Amino acid sequence: MHDWKRTVFLIVLMGLQFIPLPGRADPVTDRLAGVLADLDAVSAADLETPSRAAAFLQIVARAFDLDRMALASLSPEDLPEPEAWDAYQDAYLSHTVQTFLQKLAAYGPTVSTPVGLRIAQDGAQVFVFRSQAGGRTTQMGWVLCPDGSLRICDVEIYGIRASSYQGRQFARALARLGWEGFLADLQGGALVPPG
């Protein structure tokens, strides 16, 4: 066999190993790709804002562990008293919905492409995808909960975890506004990150 033919043959053979075989699909990637497709569909659907928010919440409730996400977004010294936890969870949920709706209003519907799974430095599995909206592409990832539930415990944007960003943002807001003011701003969408 000529050298160039051998090279082409080896390239084709190496490429074939990345084509999934029937019956050998990755259930983690398949499940998360389905969640991603559901979110893209909600972003593109012709829905009034309350219906879109409700559809988004159904997906989020099914796929994300919002309790862990809310907890991870506060430093240990900023954790609310037990009687204030429910109010914080409600405000965090509202913040999550407001973030989705404001980004959708600013950039339009998303078209997302799964990239695959990777292991983060802390050992967590991260489902990586690219999301296009409004002429821009964003590299994102969903950090899976360590309990094997296939639920999402954090979100990465260009490798920066939302819990880390929110932790700093929320700590500043708490220091400036106090607990009640922080909850009001979180509930009302004032803490939705720009861009």
CATH number at 34 reads 3.10.450.710
* Arithmetic mean of pLDDT over the chain: 88
Q: Is the pLDDT of residue 48 over 70?
A: yes
Tell me the whole-structure pTM to 2 decimals. 0.83
b/e sequence 58-71, b meaning 16+ C-beta within 10 Å: ebbeebbbbebbbb
Please check whether residue 94 lies inside any domain of the structure: yes
Q: What is the mean pLDDT of residues 92-108?
A: 95
The verdict on residue 132 lying in a domain is: yes
Range of the domain at 184: 28-188
Is position 22 within any domain?
no
Per the domain annotation, does 6 fall within a domain? no
Identify which of 61, 91, 51, 82 has the alpha carbon closest to the alpha carbon of residue 174.
91
Tokens of 171: 């700590």
Residue 20 in any domain: the answer is: no
73, with CB counted inside 10 A (0-12, 13-18, 19+), is: buried
7 belongs to a structural domain: no
Q: Is residue 17 part of a domain?
A: no
Count the domains in the chain.
Answer: 1
Token pair for residue 155?
Answer: 């979100």
